[in-house]
Structure formats: structure tokens, C-alpha cells
Amino acid sequence: MGFAEEYAKKLTTAEEAVKVVKSGDWVDYGWCTATARELDQALAARAGELEDVKLRGGILMWKPAVFDVPEAAKHFTWNSWHMSGIERREVNTGLAYYAPIRYSELPRYYRENIAPIDVAMFQVAPMDEEGNFNFGPNASHMQAVCERAKVVIVEVNENMPRCLGGWGESVNISKVDMIVEGKNPPIAELGAGGPATEVDQAVAKLIVEKIPNGACLQLGIGGMPNAVGSMIADSDLKDLGVHTEMYVDAFVDIAKEGKINGSKKNIDTGRQTFAFGAGTKKLYDYVHNNPEMMSAPVDYTNDVRVISSIDNFISINNAVNVDLYGQVNAESAGTKPISGAGGQLDFVLGAYLSKGGKSFICCSSTYTTRSGELKSRILPVLDPGSIVTDTRANVHYFVTEYGIVNLKGLSTWEKAEAIISVAHPQFREELIREAEKNHIWRRSNK
């Protein structure tokens, strides 16, 4: 049977496809921009027939229909590998829960550690001439999902960009049980936020000064990494490479300025390697069928051994807050989840092991509450319930708008002194008093 005949045989409607879901099932919804849409609406229409269906996905970019059914938590549970704002708002309703991970290990979790998936349903690009459905900018862990799912349902979206890789970027029709043709909605966009603030620009300037020609870049999501990207695009840097977990708009800007050619990369020379991507339409247009791009599974992109093999690796990530011991929280506000661990620790470790590599954890020194109160992001100790994303021994460079400090190899008093030196001046004396109470401050340092 040819691919066209097999396609026609497996083609069905969303309503028919979701009939395979039973109460108590584990159902994978895909990931980020590939999250099911037509199938989600069809499953929501069946909510009254179902109980305890355990859904799994992450980085939701729109609110699924299953979230809005009456008594949603009775029928469904959402399990997130990495929370977006949409997901964390559902935590208090009892609908959504975070699944803590080390992102580089996620494919292995599927293959070895979690129960088999009853149904996997997700968006894909149209089938190619070899019978493959491309995952779009979402290779991540999707190959492992398909391997472990009892039933695989793909939802074809003609707007999904086709991202070239080498392995793990698509599923063959032979592994697919049902095909649904959706309404081809535009791929959900993730903006970079507002324009860079003065604080963002100050932090970016400090980091860019430490990036050499020929460096290989990893950028996290958020205002500061984007500000760094914009500054790199406007700099005199050249021969840059990309090996990152998440591909964001900033990379497109840098590439279009001629700064990226990947010529100095020890591996995947000439290609921009990423596990998943989300941004504006310019990103989706740029990655589509672009031979310079390399979409790859996350157990490759985030493998510390792979990262460390690339010379002059530069990792740039955000933090929620940092304490005087050098512990970094990048995923919660106390016990309240904000996002997830993602691959930050993988890149912090890998970049430091790279020849000439550097990792940067950056944040503004303060934030303002809704009531207008100025609060320090640098704390004596992390708030109760806060997650330690990067341990005190792992942080290399810590950056705020007040400076950049290297925390490697410092004793507790040296580390406290360095971190306080880049805190907002308004809070430094208070932090010194707290450091004294905790016996990590030397009197001579005053």
C-alpha cells in the first residue's frame, strides 16, 4: 500500500478519533505549539462521559477546551512538564499540576519510568513524500511519546513549519493510527514582551562584553535574554553558533544580521541546533525548511556531555531570585509554581565544562509589587518552598544591572560579599545584617 492509500485509510474526524479515549486513560497532548486543537475540542465535548482522564503536555500557548468544561477537574487532570501562565492559573482549581523534571531526561522518562501512554494526540506538519509527519519546532521528546503510545493520532496543520533535523523530528505514517485534518489555524505566537528596559540593557551590556567571536549561544526565554540577543545583533561579534533548548526570536535577529554561521562549532558545524521553538511568525517562517536549522530531541540538545564538547559555549538564563548562598530559584514564587526547571541546570553545568565556556544567571536586582513596594530579588535565604534550580556550587556568573560577579570557588563569606555587591543599594545594609546573623559575613568587609 502506498502512502496516499494508507493516509486515506487512516483519515478520520476528530470526533471519531477521540472515541478511543476512556476514563482513567493517560493522554499526551503534545508540546508547546504542537498541542492538540481540533482533538482537544472534540475531547472536551465528551467530558460528560469521562472521569479521571490524565492529560499531559507543557508550555501551553492557548487555553485548551478541556479546561473550560463544567467541573473540569472531575473529568480531567492536566500534568505539565513546564508551566506557562495558562497552566499555573489552574493550579488553585485542582486541575493542573507540575511534573518536576530535568528536561534532558524527559525522553528517558517516557521510555523507562512512566506508565505507557494510552493515547497521544498532537499537531504535525503535512505528510511529506516519504510518509513522515514533521513535529514542527517541537522535536523535544515527541519521538519517545510516539514510541510509548498505544494509539497515536496526528492532527495535520498546513501552517506548521517543517523543521529539518536528522533524527527524532518526525513520525512515520506506519506508526500513526489515525489522521485528523484540522482547520489549519495559525501557529500560536509567543512575543518577546515589551521593549528592553534600562535594566535589561544594563545587564545585556555586561554579558555581551564577555562573549568572544566564535562563541556558541544558548538563550533562555524572557526580556533579559532577548535584550542580550538584540545587543549581539547590533555588535561586532562574528562566527557565532547556536545550540539551545528553546529557539527564540532573538536568534533570528542575530542570524539576519549575519552574526551566525556556526563555522566554529565542534559538532553540527554550520547548523543551529534546538529542541523546540516558539516566537512570532518571523521565527516560524525562518525555521521552515531551513537547512541551517537542526531540530533535535532534548536528550541530545540538553545533554551536558554534548554541550561541554562545544568550545566557548555561552549560556544565558533568567532567575526569579537568588540568595546569599548562591542558590538560584528560577521556577517558583515560594510554593507557587511559575514555570519549571527546564534545562537551565544542564546548560549551567555544560557551559562551565566547555573549553572557554561561561554560564550567566541574570535578573533585575529588584521588582515592584502590585501595591508599589520595591522588593529585592536577592534574599538572605530563599523563601520557604522555593525551588533550588541551580545549587550554590554550580553558578558561574551572576549578573544584575549593578554588576557581574564570578561565584565559582568562593567561600561562603566571599560569595555573600560578591552577591551583595550587585544588589540594589537600598537593600545592601539589610543583606549584610542578615549575612552576619547567618555567620557568612566578615567584619572586615564592611
Judged on CB neighbours under 10 Å (0-12, 13-18, 19+), 339 is: buried
| 8 Å CB contact between 39 and 17 | yes
CA–CA gap between residue 46 and residue 31 (Å, rounded): 22
| 8 Å CB contact between 297 and 140 | yes
- Sheet of 26-28: strands edge to edge? 11-12, 178-181, 149-156, 117-124, 26-28, 53-57, 76-80, 96-98
Q: How many residues does the chain have?
A: 446
CA–CA gap between residue 99 and residue 131 (Å, rounded): 33
CA–CA gap between residue 96 and residue 87 (Å, rounded): 6
CA–CA gap between residue 293 and residue 337 (Å, rounded): 32
| Residue reference for cell 514510541 | 147
Name residues whose C-beta falls within 8 Å of residue 8's C-beta, 6 or more positions apart in sequence.
none
β partners of residue 134: 170
Catalytic residue among 245, 331, 417, 434: 245
Active site residue 245: yes
For residue 265, how far is the Cα from the chain centroid?
Answer: 22
Residue 400 burial (CB count, 10 A)? 26
Closest CA to 12 of 35, 33, 39, 45: 39
Q: How many helices (H) and strands (E) does the chain have?
A: 16, 25
Phi-psi region of 136 (alpha: psi -120 to 50; beta: other; left: phi over 0): left
Closest CA to 361 of 325, 394, 385, 312: 394
Which amino acids are annotated catalytic?
Answer: 245
